[in-house]
């Protein structure tokens, strides 16, 4: 072998070496001329679909009209939020997936754009859920970081309470009578067993009656407890849910407990659906999908099966085109109706809000049941609180995401009303250590498992009514907007939505003939429904979803070579554990 020596030292410098000055943009390659499936929009559903198709062997071209990943569920920096608002309000594009974006940034110089990751549609992940299983099966979880979220607060009678949801909490609570504890435990037991044969009759009789009636008649729970079950544990987005809906929602919470620990939900660090989308896009890319951002679909010709992009490039498609409504070509005629509204209010506040988080955590949920606010809200207001530990904002700040399915002006009023209550609450709780209520020994509940003393958090909010805060809460950003979706609250995405474009195929009918549209993000605050929709789309393309992410990743595992590989390294254990199989 040639002797190794530093290059260039003795050798002549050939004169052909050009001097490469400046930072020029290299010439970009062109998109492939052919693919099996074109997907427009890198939202979560589309990204899961892209990865599933790519691993199944389809040649996928995945584009997004935006210069960032995530589309309608993106995680954005402050600068991106500004641009996003402008594009929502200018309305020049035909797409009406969002409206009335109002942005207020009182102290622009205090916000360093890149320090923030703001979700357009934030969600929490139940520990026992289809998305979580998919994250594991697909190995996408390895690209992400997850943290726990335990605290589900309910706002009632002008106070914040924290739902007692574990046996330990119920038994150690001082405010409940023994009889009511028993009833609550009975209720929880039934939630876990309602589909056993012996409960079949009972369930069928009451299935369609209002959940609230059923629970109060059968288990004699207080209206506050019922609200907590329904709106906090169940995260119901609307009142008057049926018994079966209520039971399944509360069950979702209970079965998620103790999967990873003493908490029901998790969230992905640095951003929610926007971050998880990126994980699936990376997975798709690893499986061979081609990605291009800043690439908008102009038209699709179903006869020649050719898609044309705004920059003039073309691709021949052998299978299907899937498109998010947000990325529909101009002049589209087949985008599904979006009949449901979500009103969202996102704020960044200058407070850590750690008072709301469980020990060691950085996030919480706060729920305002119907009629609990001065605005006399008809629908619940749900809010996700993300502290700086979530990687979404700097230290001593916090992002609050409020949302409701109440429409228009009423929705905005409800959110403002809820915001005010949250402001009062956090000022009160964080002031001078938080208490001007006398604490008695009974306020300190000792948890059976850990032996940690926790202050009964209902007490924290007490005497709220007369409270006048000494300080004011500083808002660094306030963003309100309306989002539209074709997914009904509680509704599972149905095939009918995707069929519409196909029915509508009279020749000459728009630049989006035969394009399959996905839905906009649903009103659901958890990730439920996302995988279902991706599977439906997958079946529409592949024919069935039997091999949806049916991938054997064996070869992709860690290479273990070299002298050090046999050492016992503690954190290796996790890597060789068989995949955890979740029942759904």
**Minimum CB–partner distance for residue 191 and another protein (Å):** 10
Do residues 481 and 205 lie in contact, with contact meaning Cβ atoms separated by under 8 Å?
no
Q: Give the residue with the Cβ less far from another protein, 499 or 550.
A: 550
Do residues 147 and 384 lie in contact, with contact meaning Cβ atoms separated by under 8 Å?
no
**Minimum CB–partner distance for residue 280 and another protein (Å):** 10
**Minimum CB–partner distance for residue 416 and another protein (Å):** 29
Q: Give the residue with the Cβ less far from another protein, 75 or 159.
A: 75
DSSP label at 242?
Answer: B
Q: What is the DSSP string of 413-425?
A: HHHHHHHHHHHHH
Q: Give the residue with the Cβ less far from another protein, 359 or 505.
A: 359
Sheet architecture: strand order including 363-368: 98-104, 475-485, 340-349, 398-404, 381-387, 363-368, 152-156, 159-162
Q: Give the residue with the Cβ less far from another protein, 36 or 301.
A: 36
> CA angle 352-353-356, nearest 5°?
150
Q: Give the residue with the Cβ less far from another protein, 69 or 155.
A: 69
Q: Give the residue with the Cβ less far from another protein, 466 or 578.
A: 578
**Minimum CB–partner distance for residue 285 and another protein (Å):** 4
**d(C-alpha 328, C-alpha 334), whole Å:** 9
Q: Give the residue with the Cβ less far from another protein, 131 or 335.
A: 131
Q: Give the residue with the Cβ less far from another protein, 144 or 207.
A: 144
**Minimum CB–partner distance for residue 366 and another protein (Å):** 19
**Minimum CB–partner distance for residue 557 and another protein (Å):** 9
- Which of 225, 267, 272 minimizes the C-alpha distance to 458? 225
**Minimum CB–partner distance for residue 375 and another protein (Å):** 34
The gap from C-alpha 188 to its chain's centroid, in whole angstroms, comes to: 26
**Minimum CB–partner distance for residue 27 and another protein (Å):** 7
Q: Give the residue with the Cβ less far from another protein, 259 or 296.
A: 259
Tokens (6 digits) for 338:
């979006």
Residues 6+ apart with CB under 8 A from 246: 211, 212, 214, 215, 229, 230, 234, 236
- Which of 387, 396, 392 minimizes the C-alpha distance to 365? 387
Quick count: other Cβ atoms within 10 Å of Cβ 99?
13
**d(C-alpha 488, C-alpha 415), whole Å:** 20
Tokens (6 digits) for 79:
């600068």
**Minimum CB–partner distance for residue 265 and another protein (Å):** 11
> CA angle 423-429-433, nearest 5°?
140
- Which of 322, 314, 328, 316 minimizes the C-alpha distance to 284? 322
């Amino acid at each position: 072998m040639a002797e190794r020596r530093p290059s260039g030292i003795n050798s002549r410098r050939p004169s052909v070496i050009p001097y490469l000055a400046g930072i020029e943009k290299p010439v970009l390659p062109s998109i492939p001329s052919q693919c099996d499936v074109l997907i427009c929009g890198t939202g979560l559903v589309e990204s899961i679909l892209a990865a599933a198709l790519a691993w199944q062997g389809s040649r996928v071209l995945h584009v997004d009209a935006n210069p960032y990943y995530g589309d309608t569920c993106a995680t954005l920096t402050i600068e991106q939020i500004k641009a996003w608002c402008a594009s929502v309000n200018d309305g020049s594009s035909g797409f009406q997936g969002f409206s009335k974006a109002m942005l207020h940034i009182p102290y622009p110089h205090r916000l360093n754009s890149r320090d923030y990751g703001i979700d357009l549609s934030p969600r929490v992940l139940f520990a026992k859920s289809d998305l979580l299983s998919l994250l594991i099966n697909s190995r996408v979880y390895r690209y992400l970081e997850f943290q726990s979220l335990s605290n589900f607060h309910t706002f009632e009678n002008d106070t914040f309470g924290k739902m007692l949801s574990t046996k330990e909490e119920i038994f150690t609570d001082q405010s409940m009578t023994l009889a009511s504890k028993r009833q609550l435990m009975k209720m929880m037991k039934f939630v876990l067993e309602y589909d056993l044969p012996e409960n079949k009759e009972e369930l069928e009789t009451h299935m369609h009656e209002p959940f609230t009636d059923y629970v109060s008649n059968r288990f004699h729970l207080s209206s506050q407890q019922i609200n907590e079950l329904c709106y906090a544990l169940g995260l119901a987005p609307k009142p008057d849910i049926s018994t079966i809906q209520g039971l399944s929602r509360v069950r979702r919470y209970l079965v998620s407990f103790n999967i990873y620990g003493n908490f029901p939900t998790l969230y992905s660090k640095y951003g929610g659906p926007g971050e998880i989308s990126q994980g699936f896009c990376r997975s798709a890319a690893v499986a061979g999908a081609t990605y291009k951002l800043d690439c908008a679909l102009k038209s699709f010709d179903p006869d020649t099966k050719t898609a044309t992009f705004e920059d003039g490039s073309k691709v021949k498609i052998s299978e299907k085109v899937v498109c998010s409504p947000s990325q529909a070509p101009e002049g589209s005629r087949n985008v599904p109706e979006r009949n449901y509204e979500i009103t969202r209010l996102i704020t960044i506040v200058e407070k850590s809000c750690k008072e709301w988080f469980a020990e060691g955590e950085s996030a919480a949920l706060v729920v305002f049941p119907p009629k609990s606010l001065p605005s006399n809200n008809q629908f619940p207001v749900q809010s996700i609180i993300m502290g700086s530990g979530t990687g979404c904002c700097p230290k001593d700040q916090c992002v609050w995401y409020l949302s409701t399915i109440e429409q228009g002006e009423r929705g905005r009023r409800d959110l403002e009303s809820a915001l005010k209550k949250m402001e009062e609450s956090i000022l009160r709780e964080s002031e001078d250590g938080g208490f001007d209520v006398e604490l008695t020994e009974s306020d300190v509940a000792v948890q059976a498992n850990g032996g940690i003393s926790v202050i009964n958090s209902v007490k924290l909010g007490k005497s709220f009514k007369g409270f006048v805060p000494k300080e004011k809460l500083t808002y660094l950003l306030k963003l309100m907007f309306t989002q539209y979706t074709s997914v009904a609250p509680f509704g599972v995405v149905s095939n009918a939505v995707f069929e519409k474009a196909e029915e509508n195929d009279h020749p000459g009918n728009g630049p989006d003939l035969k394009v399959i549209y996905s839905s906009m993000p649903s009103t659901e605050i958890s990730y439920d429904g996302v995988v279902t929709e991706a599977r439906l789309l997958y079946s529409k393309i592949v024919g069935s979803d039997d091999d949806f992410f049916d991938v054997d990743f064996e070869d992709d595992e860690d290479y273990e070579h070299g002298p050090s590989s046999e050492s016992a390294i503690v954190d290796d254990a996790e890597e060789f554990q068989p995949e955890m199989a979740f029942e759904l």
